[in-house]
């Protein structure tokens, strides 16, 4: 089951690739949940730092080095996969850190498995469900993926994912994001799009969260704008809010040091 630091975890009809770094020092481990259409490497800077904590980063079903079942994608399914990862690693709890779709999955975990969540970090995400327009957009994008493949999805999404400063000064980040999208199999793209289209509204969940929470916004994020993320933080009791400038939707890759610092400070405060 183990290849170096990469575990293979069977979760129902999928096989998940899970990267595990560090033994930790008794503090709760961190489980990183990537967004759409990315993979665990979007957390590569955070996985390479934070040595006091055990870091766990799965590729979700349909992404990266995990298998891509033809159907059956939902926020509940993704959440169940992550609980399976914790079970295989014999972990009762983890600090869960989710970006965008990873945040939607984290809401699901908080509703269905609150006892597994030691603390929550929401990056570049939102609590609201899709509007009717957004749902139509998901269907169009799924049709595009089926018709033209991942390259067309990358061309459509990329302009909104990164900040102008990132495009101008960090071409390697643009290249990595394109590679992650290109590496996502079409069933994984379509499955995630339909799962996001059908995800429940999580605004009522905000007031029911009773674990420590950090909310991280990218200052230039057009997909999860900082103003909405600040309002989300205000709706969660005791939540901390950090806005990171010169980042759009991929704050952990665009501004890795600021992101890792915010995360490290939050984790240190958990004791």
Instruction: Give residues in contact with ligand MLT (CB under 6 A).
Output: 35-36, 100-101, 196, 223, 249
Chain-centre distance of CA 18, in angstroms? 14
- At 243 the three-state DSSP class reads strand
Which of residues 96 and 101 has its CB atom nearest to ligand MLT in the complex?
101
> Cβ of residue 269: shortest distance to ligand MLT, in angstroms?
27
Q: What is the DSSP letter of 172?
A: H
> Cβ of residue 244: shortest distance to ligand MLT, in angstroms?
16
> Cβ of residue 157: shortest distance to ligand MLT, in angstroms?
8
Angle between helix 150-161 and 186-197 (nearest 10): 50
Which of residues 196 and 244 has its CB atom nearest to ligand MLT in the complex?
196
> Cα–Cα–Cα angle for 112, 113, 117, nearest 5°?
135
Which of residues 49 and 100 has its CB atom nearest to ligand MLT in the complex?
100
- At 189 the three-state DSSP class reads helix
Which of residues 67 and 100 has its CB atom nearest to ligand MLT in the complex?
100
> Cβ of residue 19: shortest distance to ligand MLT, in angstroms?
19
Q: How many CB atoms lie within 10 A of CB 195?
A: 23
Which of residues 54 and 77 has its CB atom nearest to ligand MLT in the complex?
77
Which of residues 3 and 131 has its CB atom nearest to ligand MLT in the complex?
131
Which of residues 36 and 43 has its CB atom nearest to ligand MLT in the complex?
36
- The secondary element (H helix, E strand) that includes residue 241 is strand 240-244
In this structure, are residues 220 and 208 in contact, taking their beta carbons and an 8 Å threshold?
no
Contacts of 87 (CB under 8 A, 6+ apart): none
The answer, yes or no, to whether the previous bond of 242 is cis (omega within 30 of 0) is: no
Single out the residue of 199, 208, 209, 210 nearest to residue 128, CA to CA: 199
> Cβ of residue 202: shortest distance to ligand MLT, in angstroms?
12
E strand segments, 12-157: 14-21, 30-33, 55-58, 94-99, 117-123
């Amino acid at each position: 089951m183990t290849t170096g630091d990469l575990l293979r975890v069977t979760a129902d009809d999928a096989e998940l690739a899970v990267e595990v770094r560090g033994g930790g020092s008794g503090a709760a481990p961190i489980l990183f949940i990537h967004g759409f259409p990315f993979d665990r490497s979007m957390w590569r800077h955070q996985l390479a730092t934070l040595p006091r904590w055990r870091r766990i980063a799965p590729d979700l079903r349909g992404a990266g080095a995990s298998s891509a079942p033809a159907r059956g994608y939902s926020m509940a399914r993704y959440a169940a996969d992550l609980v399976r990862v914790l079970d295989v690693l014999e972990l009762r709890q983890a600090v869960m850190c989710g970006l965008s779709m990873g945040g939607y999955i984290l809401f699901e975990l908080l509703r269905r498995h609150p006892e597994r969540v030691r603390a929550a970090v929401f990056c570049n995400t939102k609590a609201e469900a899709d509007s009717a327009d957004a749902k139509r957009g998901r269907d169009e994008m799924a049709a595009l993926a089926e018709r033209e493949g991942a390259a067309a999805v990358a061309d459509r999404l990329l302009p909104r994912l990164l900040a102008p400063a990132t495009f101008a000064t960090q071409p390697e980040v643009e290249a990595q994001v394109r590679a992650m999208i290109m590496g996502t199999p079409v069933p994984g793209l379509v499955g995630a799009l339909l799962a996001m289209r059908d995800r429940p509204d999580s605004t009522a969940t905000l007031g029911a969260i009773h674990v420590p929470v950090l909310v991280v916004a990218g200052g230039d994020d057009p997909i999860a704008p900082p103003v909405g993320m600040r309002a989300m933080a205000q709706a969660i009791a005791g939540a901390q809010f950090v806005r990171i400038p010169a980042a759009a939707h991929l704050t952990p890759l665009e501004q890795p040091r600021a992101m890792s610092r915010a995360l490290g400070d939050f984790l240190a405060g958990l004791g």
